[in-house]
Amino acid sequence: MIEAFATALHALAAVIWVGGMFFAYQILRPVVGGLSPPPERLKFWDAVFVKFFPWVWAAVILLPLTGYLLIAQLFTGFATAPIHVHWMHGLGLLMVALFLYLYYAPFRTFKQAVQAEDWPTGAAQLNTIRKIIATNLVLGLITVLLATTGRFWAWLPG
């Protein structure tokens, strides 16, 4: 029962975070970039991040907690976990670290710039945020592939 609940929470958190990044980067960004003047575009992204980042925080907390619970339940620890689980773990920690950096450095500066109507600084920080999200999106998609196909990799050592 606990495995089913942990698996469901783990999958939902991953879908929300990675899916949100995919939507923001691949769909929303190109549309907004072509429609809005820079001040309005920066205000728009500020509003988007304020709504999206609480969901990312939930994922950042739930993914490691449920992941460690599942590793303990399914493999009795990392020592007997398959290699793809180790890769998922490493990529997940990297994604969390990138989000923490994004949130506490460029996003904080971005928010302050938008409030102060310092559009050049806001635009520069938004560009940094975009690059971090692009990186995390690629890492997230790789992690999803590992999660969904890794159990079929019996030919790999470890």
What secondary structure does DSSP assign to 22-38, as a single string?
HIIIIIIHHHHHHHS-H
Mean of the per-residue pLDDT values of the chain: 95
- Give whole-number Cα distances, 109 to 3, 57, 101, in Å: 40, 19, 12
The residues, ordered by sequence, that sit 6+ positions from 147 with a Cβ below 8 Å of its Cβ are 14, 84, 88
Where does the pLDDT of residue 77 fall: very low under 50, low under 70, confident under 90, or very high at 90 and above? very high
Give the H or E element holding residue 47.
Answer: helix 38-75
Q: Does 135 have pLDDT greater than 90?
A: yes
Tens digit of pLDDT for each residue in 34-64?
877 889 999 999 999 999 999 999 999 999 9
Q: What is the pLDDT of residue 86?
A: 96
Q: How many residues does the chain have?
A: 158
Render pLDDT for 6-40 as a digit per residue (tens, 0 to 9): 999 999 999 999 999 999 999 999 999 887 788 99
**pLDDT for the residue numbered 1:** 87
Rounded to two decimals, the pTM is 0.93
User: What residue type is 31 in one-letter code?
Assistant: V
Buried b / exposed e along 118-138 (16+ C-beta atoms within 10 A) = bbebbbebbebbbebbeebbe
Q: How far apart are the C-alpha atoms of 150 and 153, rounded to whole Å?
A: 5
- Tell me what pLDDT residue 129 has: 98
